[in-house]
Amino acid sequence: MAGAPTVLIAGASGVFGRRLARELLVATGATLVLAGRRIGPLEEAARELDPARCLPLALDLRDPGALEAAARGTFAVACTAGPSQDLDPALPDAAIRAGAHWLDIADSTGWVQAILRNRTLSGRAAAVGLVVAPGLSTLPCLAMVLARALREESPHARTARALLFIGNRNRKGVASVATGLLSAAGAPVRVETPVGHRPAWRFGSPLPAILREELGLEAEFRVAFELPAGFRLARASRPLGRLFGSEGLPRLFALLSRPIAGLGSDEGRISVEVEDASGVRAAASFTGRGQRMPVLPLAVVLAGLLSGEIRERGVLRCWNGFSPGEWTRRLRDRGLERGGIP
Q: How far is the CB of 96 from ligand NAP (least distance, A)?
A: 19
> If binding is defined by CB under 6 A, does position 297 make contact with ligand NAP?
no
How many residues bind ligand NAP (CB under 6 A)? The answer is 33
15 binds ligand NAP (CB under 6 A): yes
Distance CA 191, CA 163 (A): 9
Three-class secondary structure of residue 129 per DSSP: coil
76, 77, 81, 210: which one binds ligand NAP (CB under 6 A): 81
By the 8 A CB rule, do 81 and 11 touch? yes
CB 294 within 8 A of CB 139: no
User: If DSSP codes are grouped into helix, strand and coil, which group holds residue 88?
Assistant: coil
Residue-wise DSSP of 272-285: EEEEETT--EEEEE
Pick the piece of the chain touching ligand NAP (CB under 6 A) from 78-86, 113-121, 144-152, 220-228.
78-86
- In this complex, which beta carbon is closest to ligand NAP, that of residue 204 or of residue 264? 204
CB of 276 to ligand NAP, least distance (A): 27
Nearer to ligand NAP by C-beta: 57 or 341? 57
Length of the chain as a residue count: 342
Residue 335 gets the label, from left (phi > 0), alpha (psi -120 to 50) or beta, of left
* Contact code string over 29-48 relative to ligand NAP, x by CB under 6 A: -------xxx--x-------
Least Å from the CB of residue 41 to ligand NAP? 6
DSSP conformation class of 238: G
DSSP helix/strand/coil, 190? strand
How distant, in Å, are the alpha carbons of 18, 41, 247, 273 from that of 36?
A: 11, 9, 15, 37
Task: Write down the least CB distance from residue 60 to ligand NAP, Å.
Answer: 5
Nearest to 328 by CA among 166, 137, 140, 146: 146
Per-residue binding string, ligand NAP, 156-195, x by CB under 6 A, is: -----------------xxxx--x----------------
Rule CB under 6 A: choose which of 8, 61, 227, 300 binds ligand NAP. 61
Q: Report how far residue 301's alpha carbon sits from residue 321's, in angstroms, rounded to the nearest whole number.
A: 8
- Does residue 139 bind ligand NAP (CB under 6 A)? yes
**Residue ranges binding ligand NAP (CB under 6 A):** 10-17, 36-38, 41, 59-62, 80-84, 105, 107, 135, 137-139, 173-176, 179, 294
